[in-house]
Amino acid sequence: MKARPTTVGTKIRTQANALVEKLMACQPHYVRCIKPNENQTPGEWNSSSVIEQVKYLGLVANIEVRKAGFVYRREFAKFLTRYAILTKQTWPKWNGSVTDGVMHIVDAMHLDRREVQLGNTKVFIKSPESLHLLEDMRLRKFDNYARIIQKAMKRFCAVRVYQRQREQATDILYGRKERNARSLDRDYVGDYCNLHQRPDLQRLIPRNEKTDFSSYLYKYDRRFRRQGRYFVSTNQALYIIDEECIKVGSGAGGKGGSAAAAQKGRQQQSQEGYMLEYKVKRRIPLENINEIKMSEYRDNFFLLCVNNDYATLLELSSKTEAVSIISKNYAKKTNRALPITFGQG
């Protein structure tokens, strides 16, 4: 005998049971579809029609009910994975049950227990403020870790740069000038004046110039008098900056001398009526440098020769670093090597 054909009712029941099994195996999300217009035309918005649909679908009432209840719900494992970075005990790995890990984060963030409830598989948070607090703290943690990584990377790159500069400086002076034993393994800093913390000096350097070296040195005039100056080397020029002590107020007597007055100004800077003023005494573009002269002996002097201008004798303990940076920037600026000569006198 032939089997009886499947009836329509049996097919519907079988398909309905299969659909219910699939739905029960999934996590349901209810989606309300709202038509922006009746013409099914893209880019057209009918406000009255949209408001009417929102009203009759009960979306406003549904949102109010959700606000009155727990607006945030997430599985324990997903909650712990997302906010584990907030505490040292849960990051990078939590040794314990996920429920204890969730409660540890809640207690560490000082959340009100009335705002947080634990279900069988999910954690429920009532107010949006508590959720925003967790998200803000999470972003701050990521920002702190990003700063640590950036700091380490910048330090690594800076060390590489200064190592190359030290090698280049060694090549410049090797076999041509005697060197102090302490200067062979000295770390190169570059910015010895901490210009990023000295806005009074930094404002004298144009913003379009990159500062590669800064230090306090001594300059000698024609009578071989020693004068303290600030020395700044950028990718465009060299700057020799002087500081002057100025007396302000009713008893102001004008500007003092550059060296003695500056020393006096440092001593009297804490007293009312005195201030230090910085001025650029000389700016030397890199392309105007003719050559740099140094002796063969173990000293800190070098002579800066300028085209169609007077030369300047400078004394600097970190002269090797300064000369190597000037030579590198000069080559980039002019596409030729900077002449550096060595003599016995």
Q: What is the DSSP string of 46-106?
A: -HHHHHHHHHHTTHHHHHHHHHHS-SEEEEHHHHHHHHGGGSTTTSS---S-HHHHHHHHH
Tokens found for residue 282: 């000389």
Parts of the chain belonging to CATH 2.30.29.30: 175-343
Answer yes or no: is pLDDT of 200 > 80: yes
Which has more pLDDT, 122 or 249? Answer: 122
Residue entry with tokens 């606000």: 67
Right CATH for 69-174 from 1.10.40.60, 3.30.70.1590, 3.30.460.80, 3.90.650.10: 3.30.70.1590
pLDDT digits (tens, 9 = 90+) for 41-89: 888 888 888 888 888 887 877 777 666 667 777 888 888 888 888 888 8
Parts of the chain belonging to CATH 3.30.70.1590: 69-174
Residues 6 or more apart from 245 whose CB is under 8 A from it?
255, 256, 261, 262, 264, 265, 268, 274, 275, 276, 277
| Alpha-carbon dihedral 314, 326, 231, 316, rounded to 10 degrees | -40
Per-residue DSSP letter, 170? H
pLDDT digits (tens, 9 = 90+) for 236-279: 999 999 988 777 654 555 555 554 445 555 544 445 566 778 89
How many CB atoms are closer than 10 A to CB 116?
21
- At 175 the pLDDT is 64
pLDDT digits (tens, 9 = 90+) for 8-43: 888 898 899 898 888 778 766 677 788 888 888 888
Amino acid at 289: I
Asked if residues 331 and 171 have their Cβ atoms less than 8 Å apart, the reply is no
Right CATH for 175-343 from 1.20.120.160, 2.30.29.30, 2.40.50.100, 3.40.50.720: 2.30.29.30
SS3 label, residue 211: strand
Which has more pLDDT, 166 or 134? Answer: 134
The two beta strands, 340-343 and 289-295, are parallel
The two beta strands, 312-315 and 274-285, are unpaired
184-187 long-range CB contacts below 8 Å, 24 or more apart? Answer: 186/318, 187/162
Q: Which of 20-34, 150-164, 186-200, 209-223 has the highest mean pLDDT?
A: 209-223
